[in-house]
Structure 1
Amino acid sequence: MRAWNEHRGLLKLVGMIVMVPLVAWFFGFRQTVGIWRECKARQATIDRLSASESGSTTRLPESEVTGKQVLNNGVILQRIEESVENNGVKIVKYTPYLTREEGRLRVHTGELVLSGSFVSLLRVMHHVESAEGLGRVVSTGFRLFHDRAKKERQLRMTLVIQQLTIEN
């Protein structure tokens, strides 16, 4: 027992020299090193793909690109009018804007705010997502709005829709 007490300080030092790096590795560095390795592997894949396709042009999928604009001129409101009326939903606000333009390609974005019951709002959102040529829903948000004039609460859904078009 006396021999252990004489070497207690040395044993603690050896224990700390072994344990501190192990704890640091498992709780601090292991995940960082894993992410770094994954990043290097992805960068190598990107470099390999960009080197092999440097001379070719990228084709856009026909289902994603349309020449008919429905967001910037309000055609989308006419196309969803029947679904809105059938489900008892009200259009609160619609704001179209041009998000990006590169050469002939344009990304149009429309922010559509609707109010109604949850199920009816979901039905309208499903119609917008499944209808051809209306664009792609990129964001949806629900919010309770307190109407002070009518003294009631309204559920509002904000749909952000984007459309990729090619100008002629």
Structure 2
Amino acid sequence: MNRIGRYEGVVRLVLLLVVLPAAVYRLSLGRTVALWGEVCRAERTIAEADSASIQPDTPAAMLDTVELIAGGGLLDLLERLVPDSSVRIVSYTPYLTREGDNFTLRTAEIVLSGGFVPLLRTLGAAERELSGCRLLSSGFKTLRRGRRTSLQLTLVIQQLTDKCP
């Protein structure tokens, strides 16, 4: 019994100087240090990508020539993408966002109504199939009319087109 009491100070000192810092690092600081390493690697990767010379494409090659938003072709395309007949188009609002010397930027706001799963499938199909347009945002909203509730999906889509000469 007397021997244990004699080494009690040494055991406490070892616990304080070795075990406690190891436990703190393992339980809290280890993940933080690992994340810091990932951030540093990502910053190096981004810096290397920025320093690499990139050949820019010609602006005319990147632009579409088929106008989907102004002519209503986007509505026809969306009707073909709708997997279920329970999804219906509530409103379609196209407008001109910006016009330059050789380009036109148009935006359309489309409101769809239906069940959650069919609307989600429609959103997925729109993300995959609308290659000429950019899906900017989507948002779900619940509308209550008396005892009836309906779910609406609002899509904001933009298209950058080349002006026809």
Q: TM-score, normalised by structure 1?
A: 0.64
Q: Are residues 27 and 89 of structure 1, via their aligned partners in 2, closer, same or farther at CA, if it must alter by over 3 Å?
A: same
Whole-Å Cα distance in 2 between the matches of residues 167 and 93 of structure 1? 27
Q: Percent identity?
A: 32
Match of 2:115 among 114, 117, 123: 117
Assess if the C-alpha contact under 8 Å between 1:66 and 1:133 holds in 2. no
Q: Does 1:25 align with 2:33?
A: no
Match of 2:85 among 79, 87, 91: 87
In structure 2, the partner of 1:39 is: 39
Whole-Å Cα distance in 1 between the matches of residues 143 and 61 of structure 2? 36
Structure 1: where are the runs of 5+ without partners? none
Amino acid at match of 1:27: L
Whole-Å Cα distance in 2 between the matches of residues 34 and 98 of structure 1? 47
Whole-Å Cα distance in 2 between the matches of residues 101 and 31 of structure 1? 49
Assess if the C-alpha contact under 8 Å between 2:138 and 2:153 holds in 1. yes
Note the aligned Cα RMSD (angstroms): 4.1
In structure 2, the partner of 1:49 is: 49
Structure 2: where are the runs of 5+ without partners? none
Q: Are residues 37 and 121 of structure 1, via their aligned partners in 2, closer, same or farther at CA, if it must alter by over 3 Å?
A: closer
Whole-Å Cα distance in 2 between the matches of residues 155 and 11 of structure 1? 66
In structure 1, the partner of 2:159 is: 163
Whole-Å Cα distance in 2 between the matches of residues 103 and 46 of structure 1? 33
Q: TM-score, normalised by structure 2?
A: 0.65
Q: Are residues 3 and 145 of structure 1, via their aligned partners in 2, closer, same or farther at CA, if it must alter by over 3 Å?
A: same
